[in-house]
Structure 1
Amino acid sequence: MRVLIVADTHGLIDPRIVALAAGCDQVAHAGDVGSAAVLGDLRNACPRVAAVCGNNDVPAKWAGAERSILDQLPQVAELSLPGGVLVIVHGDTFPAKSRHAGMRMRYPAARAIAYGHSHRIIIDDNVLPWVINPGAAGRTRTYGGPSGLILEADADRWQVEAVRFPPLV
């Protein structure tokens, strides 16, 4: 199973990231979605999209008609995948210095925990559960260009790969 993991789109998702979703079985968005259009673009490419609420996903930043979609975004989502569970959170409620340890303590049964918030790609796969961050898939603070992670999950093995595109001009 191929899962595209994205975060921190802040209302705009890079079309190259959307194209990656077309080749996946599932998309996981780790918060700071920013608009219903982002979720719509992802769903057009891959119908199975799970998304969580980020610290910037607040009513004042979402258009009036889109607020009903915002209200449906949970703080945490769990995806049952072959070989384990992927937990999706935004990560802003964990202090930066102890973020990975705190997530591992809160979600010990997960095989991996995907989070956003920092806008930086991280693959911390030295111990279980893995703690991974796809960076930013939009145009805000991408630190080198929009990015995401591709998780290949089967019953025996998980593998994660970072994908980064050059910034669009």
Structure 2
Amino acid sequence: MSEPTCSPQQLRVALLADTHGQVDARVLELVESCDIAVHGGDIGSAAVLASLQPRLGRVYAVRGNNDVFRSWPAEERRLLERIPRWASVELPGGILVVEHSHRLAAAGRHERLRHRYPHARVIVYGHSHQMIADCQKQPWVLNPGAAGYARTHGGPSCMVLNASLDAWAVEEHRFAA
């Protein structure tokens, strides 16, 4: 799944994951300041996706291990069927790939992701609820942590990726519990 670039010059991309049905209001406010949003799975409900309001209106999401039919309301299951297991988003200067990564053991996860998606400039994943920015080698591997209220490890968190044709930079955001 690949989408065309939203802006040829620069994009501000909100990265979040592991909302489990609720998004912290401070994360939502940050998403509003971004051009697009990417959710790394364990969404929890259609209401979470509807609450994400980036400037350009584009929200990309993947299913997590808790995004299953028995956990979503019956009237939202058609939407859940359309949410992919992984997605690729073309950004200025490269490709972002997102998957939940729950099928990969924690030990060696980043190397396995890099091997799986060597064409990406950045790989975003969720599942662990731990914010991690592994930017020591290409592709970068990012986990924005938990943007809801479950297992936040110090408070809800998210990241912002500033992607331009010339450079990419990551901002980490952690809010008080």
Specify the TM-score bucket, using the shorter chain as the normaliser: over 0.9
Q: Secondary structure in 2 aligned to 1:96?
A: coil
| Mapped pair 1:95 → 2:105 | yes
Give the alignment's TM-score, normalised by structure 2. Answer: 0.92
For 1:53, give the aligned amino acid.
Answer: R
| Mapped pair 1:9 → 2:19 | yes
Is the 1:19–1:45 contact (alpha carbons within 8 Å) kept by the matching residues of 2? no
Displacement after TM superposition at 1:45 (Å) = 6.5
Identity of aligned residues (%): 50
- The C-alpha deviation readout for 1:84-122, integer Å capped at 9, x for no partner, is 000010011111101001000000000000000000000
Moved over 4 A (4+): none
Q: Which residue of 1 is the match for residue 40 of structure 2?
A: 30
Is the 1:144–1:166 contact (alpha carbons within 8 Å) kept by the matching residues of 2? yes
For 2:65, give the aligned amino acid.
Answer: N
Q: 1:84 aligns with which of 69, 87, 94?
A: 94
Is the 2:35–2:55 contact (alpha carbons within 8 Å) kept by the matching residues of 1? no
Is the 2:37–2:54 contact (alpha carbons within 8 Å) kept by the matching residues of 1? no
Q: Which residue of 1 is the match for residue 3 of structure 2?
A: none
Is the 2:31–2:54 contact (alpha carbons within 8 Å) kept by the matching residues of 1? no
Is the 1:4–1:150 contact (alpha carbons within 8 Å) kept by the matching residues of 2? yes
| Mapped pair 1:144 → 2:154 | yes
For 1:101, give the aligned amino acid.
Answer: E
Partner Cα separation in structure 1 for residue 159 and residue 91 of structure 2: 16
For 2:50, give the aligned amino acid.
Answer: G
Partner Cα separation in structure 2 for residue 16 and residue 94 of structure 1: 30
Q: Which residue of 1 is the match for residue 6 of structure 2?
A: none
For 2:95, give the aligned amino acid.
Answer: V
Partner Cα separation in structure 2 for residue 145 and residue 48 of structure 1: 26
Give the alignment's TM-score, normalised by structure 1. Answer: 0.96
CA RMSD after TM alignment: 1.0
Q: 1:104 aligns with which of 99, 105, 114?
A: 114
Is the 1:18–1:45 contact (alpha carbons within 8 Å) kept by the matching residues of 2? no
Is the 1:22–1:46 contact (alpha carbons within 8 Å) kept by the matching residues of 2? no
Partner Cα separation in structure 2 for residue 139 and residue 46 of structure 1: 26
Displacement after TM superposition at 1:66 (Å) = 0.7
Partner Cα separation in structure 1 for residue 28 and residue 130 of structure 2: 19
Q: Secondary structure in 2 aligned to 1:87?
A: strand
Displacement after TM superposition at 1:44 (Å) = 7.1
Q: Which residue of 2 is the match for residue 132 of structure 1?
A: 142
Q: 2:61 aligns with which of 29, 51, 64?
A: 51
Partner Cα separation in structure 2 for residue 138 and residue 21 of structure 1: 13
Displacement after TM superposition at 1:43 (Å) = 3.5
Aligned ranges for residues 110-129 of structure 1 at < 5 Å?
Answer: 110-129=120-139
